[in-house]
Chains A and B, each alone.
Chain A
Amino acid sequence: MNAPNDVRAMLVESATRLFADHVDAKCLENAKRDGWSPALWEVIEQAELPRISIAEDAGGAGGSLSDLAAVLRVAGRYAAPAPLAETALLANWMLAECGLALPRGPLAAGIADGLTLRRAADAWIVSGELHRVAWARMASRLVVLAEAEGEPHVLMVDPAACEITPGRNLASEPRDHVRLRDVHALAHARAPVGVDGSALRLRGALARSLLMAGAMERALELAVEYARQRVQFGRKIGAFQAVQQELARCGGEVAAAVAAALSAAGAVERGADACFAVAAAKIRTAEAAREVALIAHQVHGAIGVTEEYALHHSTMRLWSWREEYGNEAQWAIALGARLQREGADALWPNLTASDGN
């Protein structure tokens, strides 16, 4: 159970090759302009990556949530400009849990607190607004969770039937405003137990934690490589202890982020205390993101803040992703309030409760 998983190692290796082959400087520059890389998406879809962790009889590619988590970490490392996390971890998960067919193409996912849902003849009709939906304008379908009469429903709509106002995050990834005016749902199901707003938010936070862990690995790799090459005062700057101490601290933060994000994926997969684990992971990865991004830039000096150098692809994403699905302060307040409610003597049992399930 604790041994490294050979199947997963092969999956990570092939995902690493896929992203390394298809995400280069040009791809990332174009994605800033276009919002994504359609060519990369084609390759991702051909490799069935968006269907990992969905059972084969539900139209998925099989594999576990931890398998998908391992792939998302790699996607984050390469700053892959495509909606893999949204399609696989959020939209396809909702559809598969409801027994709905999985469409091809990139998917966007939204939690709609403000959506109204009504039934007319044999169709479900949705109205309302969604804010900062990731990749909405290039999605082939939009999968949303909406409440009607106090119960969650999963609906799939055609983004072409919605009014979409493009928006972006710091890294120019699409974060669009979506207005739905009496949009007919293409598919609908009452959400089963376990598929609701808080579960979707947890998975969103997990996705960002995993992507951040990967992005931090890349930022560290770049900083280490730079410190090995750059010469000042007649020496490689990596030879200076002041630089070494910062790199070591950066390495610790990255290791912590990876440990937290992957551990949370395991907790969600096992159905352990996912709230606790994901909150902890989002807090820890967001905290690490701050340190890692700034140390990586500091080591690089001025070259790191230019558009021509690769570091900003990672750091601009880190500065965006740490806020998405709740920043560390929001999650910490929620976690702290829960710990306070459960009382001092529950802290240690809580921390050790997920050891065996």
Chain B
Amino acid sequence: MFFEAVDFSALQLPPAALKLREEVRAFLREEVQAGTYEARLGHTEFNTAFTRKVAERGWIGMTWPRRYGGRERSYLERFVVTEEMLAAAAPCAAHWFGDRQTGPSLLRHGSEALKERYLPAIARGECFFALGMSEPNSGSDLASVRTRAERVPGGWRVTGQKVWTSWAHKAHAFFVLCRTAPDTGNRHEGLSQLVVPLDAPGVTIRPIRFMSGDHHFNEVFLDGVFVPDDRVVGEIGQGWQQVTSELALERSGPERFMTTFPLLVELIRRLGTHDNARAQEMVGRLTARFWTLRRMSLAIALVLDPGPDGAGGAAKATLDLGTEAALVKDMGTFYEREIVEAGRLLCDIEPDPDALDTFERYLAETIVASPISTIRGGTTQVLRTLIARRLLGPLK
């Protein structure tokens, strides 16, 4: 029914990935010891110095072809780097979207000029991307975006408003999904993706503060911003297909079930050696669920793995496992909250955002961040509708 092509009993990582894991662990151990970053949960930190160090090791854009600054490594190796970063609560926000979403999208759909312009800079940890998808009246219903691009000599003139644009105030450019042709009835037609530098004339960025007071979300206003033709990603009018394949690609990664994992580690530390069957049962259950989610996520990464020939095979695989990716995201995001719940029920402390103790601070951070993961990247309800459609098929 699901995962039909996957042999879970034989699912393993190749030796290169195991070796890489040790390298990443050693690197992160050193960084933690040197105190180069403060581990935080809830949302990852924007730390350009850390991003450069990761880039120096070749771990940004690592699956891309060498000619674009990549290392031609496998998706499974990338999976290992991502999960090690998450396990260590490393600050990856600066390179996150470029590495995970816009880079792969440029690689698949972008012109040669766009690839040469952006990919090597992303891989060097020098160019940071944000995403301009949601709008005030387009949340889950992405096809209803109203930001418009009008044809002008040599390019497009873009007007509209984007919201929830994480790190727009620190990134260099963002992908803008906009309407390049009027809505003629088929809402999935006439959409396009453009690369817009965030310092372009006509771009205004305003913070939207998260309820904790943190600033990572923004609203971005585009007021007649000129975008030359060479910044169009893929084909004009193909934006919807491009965006949905990106979404499927990003749905099943370890970030969908690991963002509160360091809290589980600290919970075990806090439990110490005290013999408490209730705590042991909770930890046992949470670990079993984690192990299972990871097996499913690994299975998808394995099928996505395009092998040595580059990104060619990835598109087809994405379509085949899109529902499975939605399943992992749906279950993973609920799972993350279960760790938070176990932490608060077992330890009985008042959440304190200024706590000095790591466990206590993680707990406060994850409680406040807990509504987010089931909203971004496809809400629970949208995902479940997608999954049910696959199960039920067409209903006559």
Interface residues of A (CB under 8 A from B): 1-5, 8, 66, 69-70, 217, 220-221, 224, 227-228, 236, 238-239, 241, 244-245, 247-249, 251-252, 254-256, 258-260, 262-263, 265-266, 269, 276-277, 279-281, 283-284, 287, 328-329, 331-337, 339-341, 343-345, 347-348, 351-352, 355-357
Q: Is the CB of A251 within 8 A of B395?
A: no
How far does the alpha carbon of A355 sit from the alpha carbon of B392 in the complex, in Å? 34
Q: Is the CB of B11 within 8 A of A333?
A: no
On chain B, the residues within 8 Å of A238 by CB distance are 388, 392, 395
Q: Is the CB of A356 within 8 A of B287?
A: no
On chain A, the residues within 8 Å of B10 by CB distance are 1-2, 5, 66, 266
Q: Is the CB of A252 within 8 A of B8?
A: no
Q: Is the CB of B8 within 8 A of A258?
A: yes
**9 A–B contacts, CB within 8 A, in A order:** A2-B10, A4-B6, A238-B392, A266-B8, A269-B9, A284-B291, A351-B287, A355-B13, A355-B18
> Chain B: interface secondary structure?
helix
Q: Is the CB of B385 within 8 A of A263?
A: no
> Chain A: interface secondary structure?
helix
| Interface residue? B294 (CB, 8 A) | yes
**With contact pairs A224-B391, A269-B9, A343-B268 given, residues A259 and B280 touching in the complex (Cβ less than 8 Å):** no
Interface residues of B (CB under 8 A from A): 1-3, 5-15, 17-18, 21, 83, 87, 261, 264-266, 268-269, 271-273, 275, 277, 279-285, 287-296, 299, 302, 324, 327, 330-331, 381, 383-389, 391-393, 395-396
Q: How far does the Cβ of B1 sit from chain A's closest Cβ, in whole Å? A: 6
How far does the alpha carbon of A325 sit from the alpha carbon of B265 in the complex, in Å? 29
On chain B, the residues within 8 Å of A254 by CB distance are 1-2
On chain B, the residues within 8 Å of A281 by CB distance are 288, 292
On chain B, the residues within 8 Å of A70 by CB distance are 9
On chain B, the residues within 8 Å of A347 by CB distance are 264-265, 268, 287
Q: Is the CB of B290 within 8 A of A239?
A: no
Q: Is the CB of B392 within 8 A of A260?
A: no
**With contact pairs A2-B302, A336-B282 given, residues A241 and B288 touching in the complex (Cβ less than 8 Å):** no
Q: How far does the Cβ of A348 sit from chain B's closest Cβ, in whole Å? A: 5
Q: Is the CB of A280 within 8 A of B391?
A: no
How far does the alpha carbon of A280 sit from the alpha carbon of B286 in the complex, in Å? 9
A334 and chain B: residue at smallest CB distance: B284
On chain A, the residues within 8 Å of B17 by CB distance are 355
Q: Is the CB of A263 within 8 A of B8?
A: yes
On chain A, the residues within 8 Å of B290 by CB distance are 351
On chain A, the residues within 8 Å of B3 by CB distance are 255, 258-259
